[in-house]
Structure 1
Amino acid sequence: IYASMDFPDVFEGTIKAGMKVSKQTAEISAQSQAEAFLFFENSSTTLMSPDIYEKYVMPEIEDWCDIVHTYDKPLIQHACGHLKDLLPLMAKTSIDAIESITPPPTGNTELWDAADILPERICLIGGIDCTVFLDSNLTELEEYVCNLTEKMKGKHFILANSDSCPPNVELKKFKMIGDFVQGRL
């Protein structure tokens, strides 16, 4: 942000050069045999304002969407952190899914709130905050997952941990969630 104020020409030139390279990368990638693409760009209002997101991030995401969709492949955006104030802008993009939507305390967005703001065509992936995954006992985690899946019933949604999984999460928690989901199918 400081560079954009102190050296606007250099800043804008750097952004344009980076966007050119990322667009070329998207084109090369889209021509591969990969069936889908996930990119990490860490949108969060702890890192940028909605104005910065709209001016610099959205156009680049739209370029990537245009390229990847030309090859009939989905583009998935990794976006963790504080997304609530960015969701109205994200709703205007052509992204196919948003992965790692993070509820409190790590993020600030519950999946059901995101589902109310984003168009139904955008699949939501996540919902289990890493601290809940780590700190909850099996009963608490099952209650959390049950509540989450009930609130997301009928939505375009994939249950997953949000952002990252702490290294000390016990395997039995993954098994419990797998069994819970299998029991609901």
Structure 2
Amino acid sequence: KIGEVFYKIWSTFLGKYSHIYAVCRFGDDLGYKSSTILNPGDIKSMIIPQYKKIVDLVHSYGKPFLLHSCGNIFSVMEDIISIAGIDAKHSNEDEIAPFSMWQKRYGDRIALFGGVDMSFLCQASEDEIKEYIRNILSYSVNYPGFAFGTGNSIPDYMPVENYIVMIETAREFRNEI
């Protein structure tokens, strides 16, 4: 039933607003830091088929689909890509896996958004942030679907200076390549 409601919502949304959006996305956190929230078999049998219906609908409007999902979802990621057919994924935490691991595993098949771990960005020094950002960007230029940004939403407790250092370092890097 939930899948049917979700499909109707997406059908209505796309019918009215698809001309406005370049990319369609939704967030559905499937994991904790150590594993998926549900048994991977249940995700594969109950959730991924629903994702496929939505992704196919989005594709029928000529739009790519971005999934935001937090957590360790490696056990279901292949099915999310090959069966559901997502075009991009957002969200990462270095504690689960560094962004480079996501890129090595999936960066040749889907776009990966993010790269910057929020915990690190909130706590690191300016010099640590600069080095970290340069390392991410240096590695990521090898993956054409990479979109630089934070691995999750920007919390209100983040030091503004740290965010500015991230942006300025990325700009400097872009001007150097």
Bin of the TM-score, shorter chain as denominator length: 0.7 to 0.9
Match of 1:166 in 2: 155
Instruction: Using the TM superposition, give the Cα deviation of residue 123 of structure 1 relative to its aligned residue in structure 2, in angstroms.
Output: 0.8
* Bigger Cα Rg: 1
TM superposition shift of 1:124 = 0.4
Q: 2:120 is aligned with what amino acid?
A: V
CA distance in 2, matches of 1:119, 1:162: 15
Relative to structure 1, the CA distance from residue 113 to residue 148 in structure 2 (aligned partners, 3 Å threshold; closer, same or farther) is same
Identical columns (%): 19
Q: Does 1:115 align with 2:103?
A: yes
State the partner residue of 2:40. 50
More displaced stretch, 57-66 vs 41-50: 41-50
- Pair 61,55 (structure 1): closer, same or farther in 2 beyond 3 Å: same
The runs of at least 4 consecutive aligned structure 1 residues that moved more than 3 Å come to none
Quote how far apart the aligned CAs of 1:147 are. 1.5
RMSD, matched Cα: 1.7
Deviation at 1:58, TM superposition (A): 0.9
**Residue 100, structure 1, aligned to residue 91, structure 2:** yes
Structure 1 distance, partners of 2:93, 2:73, is 8
Q: Provide structure 2 residue ranges, at least 5 long, that are not aligned to the other structure.
A: none
Query: Which residue is equivalent to 1:74?
Result: 64
1:30 match: 14
Given that residues 128 and 145 in structure 1 are in contact (C-alpha distance below 8 angstroms), is that contact kept between their aligned partners in structure 2?
Answer: yes
2 CA distance for matches of 1:84 and 1:144? 24
Q: For 1:143 and 1:113, how far apart are their aligned partners in 2?
A: 18
Kept after mapping to 1: 8 A contact 2:118/2:150: yes
Cα distance, 1:119 vs. partner?
A: 5.6
Is there any run of 5+ residues in structure 1 with no aligned partner, and where?
1-16
- Between the aligned partners of 1:102 and 1:29, the Cα distance in structure 2 is 31
- Checking the alignment, whether the CA contact within 8 Å between 2:134 and 2:173 is kept in structure 1 is no
**CA offsets per residue over residues 150-184 of structure 1, 9 Å max, x none?**
22222121122112323221222222222212122
Q: Deviation string for 1:24-43 (max 9, x for gaps)?
A: 11111222133122201112
Give secondary structure in 1 for the equivalent of 2:66.
strand
- Equivalent-residue separation in structure 2 for 1:131 and 1:101 (angstroms): 11
Partner AA of 1:148 in structure 2: I
* Contact 1:83/1:101 (8 A) holds in 2: no
